[in-house]
Structures are given as C-alpha cells and as structure tokens.
Amino acid sequence: MGCAPSIHVSHSGVIYCRDSEESNSPHQTTTISQGTATLHGLFVKTDAADSIPSVLAYQSRQPPPSAAPRRKERRESGGASARSRTPHCCSVEAETQTSSSSVKQASTTEIQVGPMRLTQYPIQVLLIFAKEDNQSNGFWWACDRAGYRCNIAWTPESALECFLDKHQEIIVIDHRNSRYFDAEDICRSIRAVEPSEHTVILAVVPRISADQEETSVLPLLDAGFDRQFMENSSVTACYNELVQIEHGEVRSQFKLRACNAVFTALDHCQEAVEITSEDHVIQYVNPAFEQMMGYCKGELIGKELTELPKSDKNCADLLDNINTFIKKGKEWQGVYHARRKSGDSIQQHVKITPVIGQGGKIRHFVSLKRLHCTNENNKQVYKSHHEEKYTGDNSQSESNSYKCKNRRKDSVDVKSITSQSSDAAPSLQTRRYSSMARIHSMTIEAPITKVINIINAAQENSPITVAEALDRVLEILRTTELYSPQLGTKDEDPHTSDLVGGLMTDGLRRLSGNEYVFSKNVNLSHSHLPVPNTINDVPPCIAQLLDNEETWDFNIFELEAVTNKRPLVYLGLKVFARFGVSEFLNCSEVTLRAWLQVIEANYHSSNSYHNSTHAADVLHATAFFLGKERVKGSLDHLDEVAALIAATIHDVDHPGRTNSFLCNAGSELAVLYNDTAVLESHHTALAFQLTTKDSKCNIFKNIDRNRYRTLRQAIIDMVLATEMTKHFEHVNKFVNSINKPMAPEETSPHSEGSDTECTANIKNFPDNQTLIKRMMIKCADVANPCRPLELCIEWAGRISEEYFAQTDEEKRQGLPVVMPVFDRNTCSIPKSQISFIDYFITDMFDAWDAFAHLPVLMQHLANNYKHWKTLDDLKCKSLRLPSENNN
Ligand code: AMP
Ligand code: ZN
C-alpha cells in the first residue's frame, strides 16, 4: 500500500501513469478516453487543448453493468463540442480487478423518497491536496475500497475545473497546511458555483496534540465546509468517514435534489398550487397560482394568509369550518371565494391537504385551486390568461383545448370555457350551459328532465366531491336500464345466470328458421266440464278443503287432486264470493262460473308447472295478501277485483316454455308481440278475448265503460308486471316509494294510528296503489318458495320438470339452450332453488313483508332455504334426500 495513484494528467495535457510498473498495483492497465482518444499504456498524451489542470482521475474497478450506460454517455459526450467546453475533461478508468478483497462493489443504489424511486450511481469524490502524502493516499485507497470514483486535484484551479466537470458528491480539501494553498478560499470558490449546493465538503485538519486546545469548527462552516476530519491516514478511518458521509449527508442531498424535479412539475402544473407552513405562512406558489391571483410570488411568499384580502363572500363560518377540518389532519374540498390583487372576487374550487412532517405533526398545507367558472370574473380571469399564454401559438392552444375536451367532464375546470374564444367543439361545460338554457325554455318537461335539471342546479354550488358524485348520478339516470342489476359475467353461479338469462331476456338469442308451432287449440268450450251450479253445491270433500282456503298453509295440491285438476273454478268461486266480485261486476254467479271455466280450460294441464293449479295457487296467494291489513287499507274494491281477475288469468294458455324460448324459436306469438313481454301480453290479450267473445262468460258485460276501462287497465298492468325482465324495476320502485317513506313512521315512538295514516296516504296516490298491486301479484306469482316445505318441494319439482322439458326440446330442435343448467341429467335442483331465492325472492319478500307483515311466509322461506342448503351441502341434486324419498 502507499503507492501513489498511477495516472497523472499534466498541464501539458499528458497523463502520466505513475507506479504502474508495480505488479500488485490495481491500475496496471488503464483505458483513457478523452474525445476520440482511447489508449492503453504508461504514458498517454491526450489531444486536449490548452491547459489541462493537474487532475488525477481514477477508478479502480470496472463499474457494474448498471452504471455502464452512464459512462458510455460521458465518453460519447467527449466529442468536439463537449471537449471545447471542458478541455481538461478526462476520464481514466483502470479496468483490472483489484486484489483487495475488502473492496466494496461500486453499484447503483435504489433510494426511495416518498413515492419516488431514485437510482443513485456510484459516488464521486474529489480530493484536493497540494501534494501527495499518506493522507491523500489514505483517501485514495478508501475510495478504492468503497467503490467510489475518485479524482485528485493538486491546484485550486484544477480542483474547480474538475468539480465543474464532474460535480462530485464529496470533496475532501487538505486544510492542514496553508503553505501551498488556502483551503478555505478553495472551499469558498467551490461554494460560489451552483452545483456545489448538494456537495459535502470535508476539511482535513491537523491532528491536535494532547496539550493543544480544540478549536471551533465555526470558521470552517463559515467557509462552506460541512465537516472536519482530523488527520488520520489509516485507510479504514478515511473509509469510515467517507461511507458515513455517503449514508448521511450525500444521501439526504441526493433526495433533496429530487425535489427539484417535483418543483419543476409544480411550476408547470396548470392548477394553482400554494404551500404554506402550519401557521399559514406562504412558502411556495407556482406560476399558475400567480396568474390566478394576479400577484407575483415575491408579493406572496413569507406572507401570512390572513394578511391577504379576503372575499366578503367567505363567511367566517366557512373559514372556521375549513380550519377545524384541516387542523385535524383532514383534507378539505369546496368552493371558496378569493380576492385577486385587482380586487375582483373569484370563485375557486379548493382542495387543502395537510402534510405531516417532522414529529408526526402537520408541517405544511398544500392547496390546489381551480377556477370555478360560473361567474363572469372567473371567465375573464381565464380568458386573459389564455390569451396571454397562447397568443401567437395556435398549435399549443389547439392542443390545450383538445386535451380539455378529452378530460372527463371537467365541469369545474377553467379550460372548459375556452370554446368562447376558439372554434373548437364546445366543451362539456359550455354544452351543459347551453342545453340547460334550452331545457329551461321548454314548456313540457319530462320528470327525468326535471330531475336532471335539479341535479344540475345543485351541482353548481356544491363542493367538487358532491359535484362529481352527482355527475355519476346523472350518468346512471341517463341510462334506460335503471332497474336491472348488472350480473358479474365471470364469477356468477351458472344457476343464477341461466335463470336470469332464461327469465329476464327476450329475443336476444333468437334464431331464425326455427319455427315454434304454438298451440292454436284455444279452448272456448266450457260445457264438457263438470262444474258446480253454485258455490253451495260443490261436492263435500271439496267444500271441506275449501274451508281452509283463507290460511296460508292451504294445500292447493289436495284441491288439484279432488277437483281432477280443475282447482281454479272451485277456488275461484269461493274466493270471488268472499271478495264480492259478482256484486262489484254486477254479474251472476253463473256467468262468473262460466268465465272461470273457460279460463281454466285454457290452461295446459299437460304443463307440469304452468297449469291451472299454478293459477289457483297465485289466486290463493293474492286473496291472502288482500286480507292483510295494510294491503286492504291501501286498495279500493276495484283494485281487489282487478287483482283477483289478474291472478286467475295471468298465465292462461302458457305453453310451458319461456319467453326466450319462444323468441329463439321465432314463434308466432314472439312475432306478434315483437319479442317483448310475449307471454304476458298473450295471457292478457287472450283472457280478454275469451271473456268478451261470449256473453255467457263475459263478467264485464254489466259494468259501465269507464269502470271497465279502469278495471281492464289495472288487470293488464298487473299481468304485465309478472314479466320477469321488469322484476328489479318493480321491486325497486316499491322499496323507494312505499318501504322507504314508511320506515321513519314505523320507527317513530308515536307510531300509533300511523297505519291508517299511511294507508290513507297511499290511497291518495294512485301511482302508489299501482306499485302495491304489481308487487302483490309478483309475490303471489312466485310465492312457492314461501309455502310450507312439502308444497315448496312439489313446486320446485314441477318448475324443474318444465325447464327440463324445454331443454330437451331445445336440444331436439337445435335451438339455443336457454338455461343449460336445467338439464335433467346434470341439474342440481337445490342449487337452482338457492339461486332463485337469492336472486329473485329474498329481497322482494323482505320488502313485501315489511309492508304487508307476513311472518308465516318468511318463516317458511327460511326453512325452505335451509332445506335446499342442506341438500346442496350433502351434494344431493334432487328434491329430497334419498332416505326421504318414500315419504
Ligand atoms: P310466471 O311465468 O308468471 O309464473 O312467472 C314466474 C317466473 O318465475 C316463471 O318464469 C317461473 O318459471 C319462475 N319460477 C317460479 N318459481 C320458481 C322456482 N321455484 N324456481 C325457479 N323458477 C321459478
Ligand atoms: Zn305465474
């Protein structure tokens, strides 16, 4: 050790490799690049012009691959122009591996500053020593060990030049002997140049003897040194010092340098940015802020916010509110009136974010401000900026307005008003204003237009978060499918997606050329059926069963059995009598009986599910619901009659296939009803046709035209409501219009008598009555999961069988399989029931129960759900466990 470095660049431009003959020297071979010169050998003469200061440049190790591009860049920049700027710039790199095992690998280091990731390249050190001695060598070898790039300068001039060329992170200046040069002067001259701002300068001071007094470091600090190093030529001592500096100050400086990038970003940011201290003293404003407020930064920085004129429109409350918010470390956003230097008041959208710093305390507040462009002043401010900024630079102006057009509904962005001065397409904001103006001048407003207008108006003065939330609301309101929940496509259970696809879509998967031949055997006859003459002469076994008709647990399948699959006539007679339907319609019981008979005859007994037993079941549920206090109180007699008739006819002539099937098959009915609510339209139309065709069964023949029209309208509305594509629309409307408004009354302590009040309110609003009737028939239609377990199981078996038959036929006819899970060979009925309940039943019955109070149904629903879950957990795919099958 102790050998001098191997390369020396002289004033004459000659680089000497001294001591390189030594076999153990780490610098045996050197590569010298300067401009085009890349030479190997002991003596290297560069083509550098003029004086090249006495600089030694050395790097003992081959830099790691990650550092290579940087080196290459430096070499490339050593061309003619670079050379003339820095004539002495030379890089000398020894590429032999050092023999020293303790050498640290020079490598790049990843450093995190907040969210920024930086790469720190190997440290560069400049040693400024008047002459070579043990101390300079100590640092030299310490650099070698630490993997730092090292230069040595012997004169103040070469030192400065070398620094200006390489901007070393650490400079070590020999401060032991003032005979050769004045270390403090050198330090000052280096500090006088800008790049030294981030450099750590170390003074090597003479060792003091025991009897000497320690001197203050202050003169050194004043001269620009950062620290002192007591003379110590031990390589380890030098190494430790340098490494500590790297990990401490150099790294902090490196991080600080990154702030420059952030400040540059802020300076170019189009939003106004202001940074204050925790006491609201302005520390920074960006050019956009200066423009917006009309001040230059010199007038703002160092001022307390309270010293600036405030707009009178900001009430003290608002300022207090902001303060309380941000002092708690919370972000505040809102609209704020500010006064410009010129005295104008402008409206700004402001976002103030507290920044936590030292000691976990709030150390700064960062405010981002955008002009809120509703007031004239704002537009003026913007306009003047815009003109100032873009005059004579059309391309920039265009690209700016283009950017603005592409931004998401930047309703509050100042740039949105550019279209006044350019012929760019109107921005969203401008469009909003002009369309608002048009809408306001319209005389006939659709309710949705009114809603949108109200929201638009509310947006004008709301904080940006609210305005943005309202934007989202408007987006949703503008879609037509307001009530259809969006099914997740991938993760959704196939049973649910099949049911939804099968029940809630119409003609989307229609195939041409597959004709579904619809039964034309409309049954107009009723004479061949054994029917009782009056409700009083029904066979005793049937009468006995019907005694129980008012309870929810009434067994419709027993009635089906004893009536030879004609339960609808018998139940109809009984129920219609109970609700005084003949009286209301002013028709004889004979006509009513004939009508029931015709309707029942047009249900397909061959369908396992959609037969007249299902109609009777729905009629039974409807009658049950009509008996509930709230329902009875909310509806009129006409509504009751309409509901009972609707329930009776609601699936008449059902072919046992879904709407999707009919559409896919291109059936006559699908063609007739344009693939829209095909079956429901058919059930209603056919029912009225059958009723009015023959006066013997025309139950409407004796009511006046107006009453007929009202009744007919109510019936049609209810039957159409059973169409499943509108399921969520009906349920949601009911929840929003009936459940929600009732909820506060129910929880209020003075809710006595509120039941009658509430129903009276509903009665006053025919729209609400309509929602109740729709909900009632919908619930009655799919009440089978709320029936006693045995009945529920029977219905599940029947609907599954009907679906299986459809899948069989789809396969036979080469039609699209609408609900592939309903394949008789593979289907898990419990899973399908769980999906049906989860997706369609639970929410709807929760809402209906909340209104009509139906504890028995809800209990059955819970039990039945448990039944299906148990089967599913046991991987059982059928209706019951094998052990229960004999029951
Ligand atoms: P409707 O055709 O008027 O009876 O409408 C009710 C819809 O719900 C029909 O498409 C039925 O197929 C379906 N549905 C009723 N009960 C069930 C059930 N337990 N499982 C699956 N689907 C059902
Ligand atoms: Zn039905």
Ligand number nearest to the C-alpha of 654: 1
Q: How far apart are CA 545 and CA 199, in angstroms?
A: 101
Tell me the CA–centroid distance for residue 523 and ligand 2, in Å: 19
Ligand 1 contacts CB of residue 426 (under 6 A): no
Tell me the CA–centroid distance for residue 104 and ligand 1, in Å: 77
pLDDT, tens digit, 9 for 90 and up, residues 474-488: 877 766 667 766 655
Percent of the chain with pLDDT over 90: 47
Please name the residue whose Cα sits nearest to atom 18 of ligand 1. 796
Q: What is the pLDDT averaged over residues 590-610?
A: 97
Ligand 1 contacts CB of residue 250 (under 6 A): no
Tell me the CA–centroid distance for residue 841 and ligand 1, in Å: 10
**Higher per-residue confidence, 886 vs 20:** 886
Q: How far apart are CA 687 and CA 648, in angstroms?
A: 9
Alpha helices in 15-121 (DSSP H): 68-76, 80-85
Q: How far apart are CA 318 and CA 324, in angstroms?
A: 10
Three state DSSP letters for 744-763: HHHHCCCCCCHHHHHHHHHH
Which of 46-50, 113-117, 132-136, 856-860 is the most confident on average? Answer: 856-860
Lowest mean pLDDT of 371-375, 422-426, 504-508, 612-616, name the range: 422-426
pLDDT, tens digit, 9 for 90 and up, residues 802-841: 999 999 999 999 999 999 999 999 999 999 999 999 999 9
Please name the residue whose Cα sits nearest to atom 21 of ligand 1. 836
β-sheet bridge partners, residue 205: 230
Q: What element of type H or E holds 116?
A: strand 116-120
Q: How far apart are CA 342 and CA 295, in angstroms?
A: 9
Q: What is the pLDDT averaged over residues 511-534?
A: 46
Ligand number nearest to the C-alpha of 616: 2
Instruction: Give percent helix, percent strand, percent coil of the chain, each to the nearest 5.
Output: 55, 10, 35
Q: How far apart are CA 44 and CA 390, in angstroms?
A: 55
pLDDT, tens digit, 9 for 90 and up, residues 214-248: 889 999 999 999 999 999 999 999 999 999 999 99
Domain boundaries along the sequence of the chain: 1-104, 106-208+216-261, 269-418, 425-478, 500-873
- Closest to 612 (Cα-Cα) out of 671, 652, 572: 652
Pocket probe mutation, ligand 1, options 493, 803, 836, max atoms within 8 Å of Cβ: 836
Ligand 1 atom index nearest CA of 651: 3
In the sheet with 332-339, reading across from the earlier edge strand, the strands are 282-285, 272-277, 362-371, 345-356, 332-339
Domain 500-873, CATH:
1.10.1300.10
Ligand 1 contacts CB of residue 785 (under 6 A): yes
Q: What are phi and psi of 205, to 5 degrees?
A: -105, 155
Q: Which residue has the tokens 């470091």?
A: 217
Q: How far apart are CA 78 and CA 91, in angstroms?
A: 10
pLDDT, tens digit, 9 for 90 and up, residues 729-740: 999 999 988 988
3-class secondary-structure state, position 338? strand
Residue 380 backbone class (left: φ over 0; alpha: ψ -120 to 50; beta: rest): alpha
Which of 269-273, 327-331, 378-382, 549-553 is the most confident on average? Answer: 549-553
Q: How far apart are CA 767 and CA 734, in angstroms?
A: 10
Residue 734 backbone class (left: φ over 0; alpha: ψ -120 to 50; beta: rest): alpha
Residue 35 backbone class (left: φ over 0; alpha: ψ -120 to 50; beta: rest): left
Write down the pLDDT at residue 444: 56
Ligand 1 atom index nearest CA of 802: 12
Ligand 1 contacts CB of residue 830 (under 6 A): no
Q: What is the pLDDT averaged over residues 26-33?
A: 32
Q: How far apart are CA 211 and CA 37, in angstroms?
A: 54
> 745: Cβ–Cβ under 8 A, 6 or more apart, which residues?
751, 754, 757, 758
The confidence band for 55, taking pLDDT boundaries of 50, 70 and 90, is: low
**Higher per-residue confidence, 523 vs 130:** 130
CB-based contact 512:855 (threshold 8 Å) = no
The confidence band for 375, taking pLDDT boundaries of 50, 70 and 90, is: low
Q: What is the pLDDT averaged over residues 90-117?
A: 56
Domain 269-418, CATH:
3.30.450.20
Write down the pLDDT at residue 402: 31
Write down the pLDDT at residue 711: 98
- Closest to 526 (Cα-Cα) out of 477, 620, 607, 595: 595
Ligand 1 atom index nearest CA of 792: 19
Ligand 1 contacts CB of residue 608 (under 6 A): no
Ligand 1 contacts CB of residue 651 (under 6 A): yes
Ligand 1 atom index nearest CA of 803: 12
The confidence band for 536, taking pLDDT boundaries of 50, 70 and 90, is: low
Write down the pLDDT at residue 862: 97
* Res 383 pLDDT > 70: no
Is 612 annotated to bind ligand? yes
- Chain CA centroid to CA 602, Å: 52
Write down the pLDDT at residue 406: 34
User: Please, what's the b/e burial string for 421-460 (b: 16 or more CB within 10 A of its CB; e: otherwise)?
Assistant: eeeeebbbbbebbeeeeeeeeeeeeeeeeeebeebbeebe
Is 833 annotated to bind ligand? yes
Q: What is the pLDDT averaged over residues 199-203?
A: 95
Three state DSSP letters for 149-180: EEEEECCHHHHHHHHHHHCCCEEEEECCCCCC
Q: What are phi and psi of 223, to 5 degrees?
A: -75, -10
Q: How far apart are CA 406 and CA 399, in angstroms?
A: 10
Lowest mean pLDDT of 453-462, 583-592, 815-824, name the range: 453-462
CB-based contact 137:152 (threshold 8 Å) = no
Ligand 1 contacts CB of residue 796 (under 6 A): yes
Ligand number nearest to the C-alpha of 831: 1
Ligand 1 atom index nearest CA of 679: 2
Q: How far apart are CA 414 and CA 288, in angstroms?
A: 12
CB-based contact 347:360 (threshold 8 Å) = no
Tell me the CA–centroid distance for residue 783 and ligand 1, in Å: 9
Tell me the CA–centroid distance for residue 22 and ligand 1, in Å: 97
* Res 183 pLDDT > 60: yes
Is 50 annotated to bind ligand? no
Whether domain 106-208+216-261 has CATH 3.30.70.1450: the reply is no
**Which pTM does this prediction carry?**
0.52
**Higher per-residue confidence, 543 vs 177:** 543
Pocket probe mutation, ligand 1, options 659, 781, 803, 867, max atoms within 8 Å of Cβ: 781
CB-based contact 582:592 (threshold 8 Å) = yes
> What does the DSSP 8-state code read for residue 569?
H
User: Please, what's the b/e burial string for 473-487 (b: 16 or more CB within 10 A of its CB; e: otherwise)?
Assistant: ebeeeeeeeeebeee
Q: How far apart are CA 130 and CA 178, in angstroms?
A: 10
Ligand 1 contacts CB of residue 836 (under 6 A): yes
Ligand 1 atom index nearest CA of 781: 4
Ligand 1 contacts CB of residue 640 (under 6 A): no
> 596: Cβ–Cβ under 8 A, 6 or more apart, which residues?
568, 569, 572, 573, 576, 648
Ligand 1 contacts CB of residue 782 (under 6 A): yes
- Rg of the chain over Cα atoms, rounded to whole angstroms, equals 45
* Res 280 pLDDT > 70: yes
Q: What is the pLDDT averaged over residues 456-475?
A: 81
Write down the pLDDT at residue 767: 87
Tell me the CA–centroid distance for residue 651 and ligand 2, in Å: 5
Q: What are phi and psi of 85, to 5 degrees?
A: -70, -45
Is 268 annotated to bind ligand? no
Please name the residue whose Cα sits nearest to atom 10 of ligand 1. 503
